Amino acid sequence: MVLSKAYSSESDVSLHSTFASRYVRTSLPRFKIPENSIPKEAAYQIINDELMLDGNPRLNLASFVTTWMEPECDRLIMAAINKNYVDMDEYPVTTELQNRCVNMIAHLFNAPLGDSETAVGVGTVGSSEAIMLAGLAFKRRWQNKMKALGKPYDKPNIVTGANVQVCWEKFARYFEVELKEVKLSEGYYVMNPDKAVEMVDENTICVAAILGSTLNGEFEDVKRLNDLLLEKNAETGWDTPIHVDAASGGFIAPFLYPELEWDFRLPLVKSINVSGHKYGLVYAGIGWVIWRNKEDLPEELIFHINYLGADQPTFTLNFSKGSSQIIAQYYQLIRLGFEVCEENGIVSKTELDVQRKFTDAWRKFVANKKKTNGVCLEMVHYPFSKF
């Protein structure tokens, strides 16, 4: 949420309700609760008129967030808008739908699901919370390891590119982890895996790779990062892992680039986050984080609550939250299926080729520098009503 400033009574400004209702004879204070009630129609009209100054969500391409869903899904959302997800005993089917979503995404990311390894995951309010949770798991595992070795555990660090989204800076500052950023270079606007591995030391809790940079949509080379880290771990005896921030690319790469190795096929990738409200095609307020194995999520971070009777294991920074976005995510996964996602991928590749030609021409025109033909995202809108 945006940090809001509280104003004094003297600075209060009134809201004029000229067009709201003939029953509203007085203006309303802007920053104080009014003394008297007003008709519901007037309250609606006042707020609706003010909201007219907001932009049109359908024209918002700035924040990479879904702004349209099918009417059938809208009805499901409205039917569940008063369901508190944390009441798992009260709403067991909603909990089951989250479990199905976690399983679908774990399969999509090629999580090992054998007897020796069992993937786990949770739904979040977005990738920012998902990254906080993943970071906490890495930090706690590193602390436990250092304690067992009798070594200091008070100076953890994390290695990222300088192009990371602000949530990584928040994690580092809020949870007292040093952020070691790999500087970008001219013509190379994502994290260089070679330089990242050079910055890894015994106190590194993980290296974070981005699948779809906020700056240009480019995918970082997770495969090379994994290979280099395997070599360094073998030389030093460390076990530095990888987290993949697939907020944007997690619902793109499996369909556009199925041969690209970036996910749990790589042994050092221990957790992946993805935003359901980006290319998961759900309204804002849903994200996911998947761990390769339940051992990658320390048990002491999981809270077991029994407020409503049964034991409910939870790992979240929040408590109460709505159920509607989880239901909407499940709707999109079963509604579109792999078939439509692949068809959209073909269209996306065509658009991406056009975008790449334009980008290459632009780079030549501006700086005449070496091109970066990396894998990246496309920023276009596709209607799904025809499917």
Among 145, 371, 134, CA closest to 269 = 134
pLDDT of residue 382: 45
- Catalogue the E-assigned strands of the chain: 14-15, 28-29, 120-124, 157-161, 178-182, 204-210, 242-245, 269-275, 287-291, 303-305, 312-314
Give the integer Cα–Cα distance in Å for 112 and 120.
11
Which residues touch 299 (CB under 8 Å, ≥6 apart)?
A: none
pLDDT of residue 315: 94
pLDDT of residue 114: 76
According to CATH, the topology of domain 77-329 is Aspartate Aminotransferase; domain 2 (3.40.640)
Q: Which amino acid does the sequence have at 263?
A: D
- pTM of the full predicted structure? 0.88
pLDDT of residue 381: 47
pLDDT of residue 218: 92
- Tokens at 264, concatenated: 């749990």
Give the integer Cα–Cα distance in Å for 138 and 159.
12
Please report, for the chain, how many H helices and E strands are present, in that order: 9, 11
For residue 237, report the phi and psi dihedrals to the nearest 5 degrees. Answer: 85, 5
pLDDT of residue 28: 84
Q: What is the mean pLDDT of each run of 10 residues along the chain (387 residues)?
A: 63 61 70 88 90 89 86 97 89 95 97 84 96 98 98 98 96 98 92 98 98 90 98 97 97 93 98 95 96 96 85 89 96 91 67 65 59 54 46
Helix-helix angle 324-366:71-79, to 10 degrees: 130
Give the torsion through C-alpha atoms of 61, 66, 67, 69, to 10 deg: 150
Residue identified by tokens 């609760």 is: 33
What are the angstrom distances between the C-alpha of 263 and each of 95, 101, 112, 149, 370? 26, 17, 11, 30, 28
Are 59 and 314 in contact, with CB atoms under 8 Å apart?
Answer: no
